[in-house]
Chain A
């Protein structure tokens, strides 16, 4: 591939070996007990894998975008859920990194990069979803403290995170330097903060998605990550990095289930021939799926290479990689189940997990409809 070199090949091999030896043996436990991949994250941090997504200025390796993509692609081949757990580490720290707050970087981002703490970012609310104007979770200033009241839903890593980034509406009246929204860091076990119901989702069983409640939850002013007049365009501007990382994970997931189904089709005999060799219709379906995967690969690594070259004007293709990644990995997983016949439908054969996990990509990290709407807005 045009984006590969010897170093990247080694890194991809290392990520592949890590996925096979550390992630794959964990999948069954994750599926049966909704186990969170804490130990996998710690080991990846120790090896410097998470650091690929973080800047050198804070002790990271880059960010090295193509390398980060290779890591998530390899992880995604084994588990879309675990791959996205790594993408969410980046998402949980991105806002703190953007502000450059040295204390919070030291306290949260560096340990997250080392895999020793877990972060979460909470946006959605019961009313209005991620629509900023509808937020009811508020932050106000009392006695030199920030007081948070309200709730959040669909928070990824709820109950497992050590630090939560909460996007609050600043309670009126507020004065400069406060803007209409305040991003606040809340540590687990802070009085007044409670994790509520953990959702039972269709997929991503190793990812904990749940509700957060704040009842006069007080945190020091130093926990303010940022406060500014936030609008939808600012949210959109921050969407590209998590979108492209999710796109890389989706690419891996599509490849993972495709290779599994192709191996089955070449082994499964009808008469003295494999079903792959015997049926042209089957070969053509595999060929069609492969073409979709290669289209996605081109899009994903094109954006990642652009980012490595310092071209950050990639909002549309980066968001497209998330949207198309979600569509393609779901389609490939669904087709692969059909191509493997009855065996494709058996839970133990592990095809359906790919489909359930793929489906999560439609909503997690902003829904594909929201993102499509953003692209449409950019085209105005």
Chain B
């Protein structure tokens, strides 16, 4: 069983936002970068499958600059056997569509695989489009938001989250799955000192986009600009000093004063 897990370098949630950033994860300070937390659920799923089958290989694939080395090393330190980084140092490729083209081409270059796993979305842009696009480009079956995985006769049977419930789907392999952050893979494992020591000694091959045979680099959609929202000028008034019934009256009075239609209240 050969599994590829696609991991993304995102900005650490505690790091300051940079509106001028052209590609997520492309920062000068490595400590600002972290593994997209949803991708850790996908890594967990891949590792569990291999552990249960007792054989196979998990390879983490990441598009990013050398800042993303931290992310591929973390994937190995979680238990992935190998990792590949696709160089994107000049932030040549920034749009989701083009990223998906590259990831699909990388999967093709790897050649033999049974499953391509993605996190259900990314922590930063959260478009949840990567798995569907890659499955389309490779013409492979797709199941999104997968909570549970079982195998039967060359097929993979998954529980996928749908609105208000779970749908069981059987797909042929090779297949593309996006893994939900709930269900069986809800708690991704930590790295461990032993695996970190191994990861720091593992050389990660770096592939060039140019070698992947992608013709189309131009994004179909471009970001015109990213700005911080204007500072809010409204003041927050808190009614918390006094009897609740009186406070409600004060609140409604203040809303009425602002010209809000509050129905029958006088």
A binds B: no
- Residues in chain B within 8 A of chain A (CB atoms): none
Residues of A within 8 A of B (CB): none
